[in-house]
Amino acid sequence: MKILGIESSCDETAISILEFDNKYNFKVLANVISSQIDIHKEFGGVVPEIASRHHIKNIGGVLDKALLDSNTKLEEVCAIAVTVGPGLVGALLVGVSYAKALAYALDIPLVPVHHIAGHIAANYITHEELKPPFISLVVSGGHSHLIKVEDYTKFKVLAKTRDDAVGEAFDKVARVVGLGYPGGPKVSEMARKGEAKYKLPTTKFEDSLDFSFSGIKTAVINLANKEKENLNKENLCCTFEENVVNVLVDHAVTCCKQNNIKKLALAGGVSANTRLREELQIQGNKNNLEVYIPELKYTTDNATMIAVAGALKYLDGKFTKDLSINAKASMNIEEE
């Protein structure tokens, strides 16, 4: 079977075509991404209205390329999987409307996909041996969650950030030290040239594995204001990255222990971070955990992860021909 995946929740217009079977074997036939990063860079972040307009402009060409790359005719597709939320509602609407039109014209079902279920599903592309239950550390521009993946389409949120998401904190630090958008990769690159010599706070809660990154973010801003031209940007980035990585890994390992689960899968845009990938593997080995890390190209937003999450729901009978499904800015993954 072939499923078509559509992703447009932020600033990436993406379409993928994926072959799958009921044994959870997946083969990526096309993975097309049209990124708007260069457009939003100028504004220091994503401008929602501009993102929506570019999705409209780009989506037709992205579909044509996906069909061409995969040598697929639309009539061969059994369902359309689409991100319905969470994300920028105007941006989501473009993908959702396009998916509805395709499903209606082809008379095939729609599979509404939660964006974070997609990020988690990126692991199945690279690791076909991975099977639930497992714990997923989801770290992205909008999320910092510890999720128990109870089954392929059943999730339980065990912990989350009480304020900023970790990707958001990386982007803010990048702005403070003048590195531009998107900040994560740039902070990480600069951190590699420095040492963790500054002192930054770590926030922990009693009896909870929740995260909080607003304290460290404010401390970085205050430090930059105080040090001014004496600020060692490399050392600041390195201190920030080490602090954040240690907290994420520590909570993830503890979460596995508390739930007596030996499998830990990383997910989301921040999982592109080299130090996080390294440290999770090191601590995972020390604690006898099987650590799963998605292939780099499937860490940030793409439609292949949406197609995989969609295929899993399709196999579970969770699809619809009801064209009243809509885009949602916020959505609970447990109610999926």
Ligand X SMILES: Nc1ncnc2c1ncn2[C@@H]1O[C@H](COP(=O)(O)OP(=O)(O)OP(=O)(O)O)[C@@H](O)[C@H]1O
Applying CB under 6 A, which residues contact ligand X? 9-10, 87, 115, 119, 140-143, 167, 170-171, 182-185, 188, 268-270, 272-273, 300-301
Which entry of Mg ion, ligand X, none binds 167, CB below 5 to 8 A by partner kind?
ligand X
Q: Kindly tell me which of 171 and 301 has the beta carbon lying closer to Mg ion.
A: 301
Structure tokens at 88: 């920028």
Is 8 near Mg ion (CB under 5 A)? no
Closest CA to 121 of 253, 24, 192, 40: 24
Closest distance between ligand X and the C-beta of residue 23, in Å?
Answer: 28
Closest CA to 103 of 335, 326, 333, 322: 322
Is 241 near Mg ion (CB under 5 A)? no
* x-or-dash string of contact with Mg ion, 293-312, rule CB under 5 A: --------x-----------
Which entry of Mg ion, ligand X, none binds 8, CB below 5 to 8 A by partner kind?
none
Which entry of ligand X, Mg ion, none binds 59, CB below 5 to 8 A by partner kind?
none
Is 13 near Mg ion (CB under 5 A)? no
Token pair 């304020």 is found at 163
Pick the piece of the chain touching Mg ion (CB under 5 A) from 137-145, 154-162, 184-192, 214-222.
Answer: 137-145
Cis-peptide into 201, omega within 30 deg: no
Is 239 near Mg ion (CB under 5 A)? no
Q: Where are the beta strands (DSSP E) in 164-307?
A: 263-267, 290-292
Q: Kindly tell me which of 119 and 263 has the beta carbon lying closer to ligand X.
A: 119
Closest distance between ligand X and the C-beta of residue 82, in Å?
Answer: 15
Residue 333's alpha-carbon distances to 30, 140, 144, 155, 262, in angstroms, are 27, 15, 13, 6, 22
Which entry of Mg ion, ligand X, none binds 48, CB below 5 to 8 A by partner kind?
none
Closest distance between Mg ion and the C-beta of residue 268, in Å?
Answer: 6
Closest distance between ligand X and the C-beta of residue 173, in Å?
Answer: 10
Structure tokens at 121: 């599903």
Among 140, 212, 299, 302, contact with Mg ion (rule: CB under 5 A)? 140
Residue nearest to ligand X as judged by C-beta position: 269
Closest distance between ligand X and the C-beta of residue 9, in Å?
Answer: 6
Closest distance between Mg ion and the C-beta of residue 116, in Å?
Answer: 8
Longest dimension (CA), the chain: 64
Closest distance between ligand X and the C-beta of residue 10, in Å?
Answer: 4
Q: What's the rounded Cα separation, in Å, for the pair 51 and 37?
A: 10
Q: What's the rounded Cα separation, in Å, for the pair 115 and 242?
A: 27
Which entry of ligand X, Mg ion, none binds 273, CB below 5 to 8 A by partner kind?
ligand X
Which entry of ligand X, Mg ion, none binds 263, CB below 5 to 8 A by partner kind?
none
All residues at 6 or more sequence positions from 6 whose CB lies less than 8 Å from its CB, including other chains: 14, 15, 59, 80, 81, 82, 83, 95, 98, 99, 303, 306
Token pair 């708007």 is found at 36
Q: What's the rounded Cα separation, in Å, for the pair 1 and 29?
A: 12
Which entry of ligand X, Mg ion, none binds 112, CB below 5 to 8 A by partner kind?
none
Assess contact for 192 and 239: CB atoms under 8 A.
no
Closest distance between ligand X and the C-beta of residue 86, in Å?
Answer: 6
Question: Residue by residue, what is the 3-state secondary structure of 42-100?
Answer: CCCCCCHHHHHHHHHHHHHHHHHHHHHHHCCCHHHEEEEEEEEECCCHHHHHHHHHHHH
Q: Which residues bind Mg ion (CB under 5 A)?
A: 140, 301
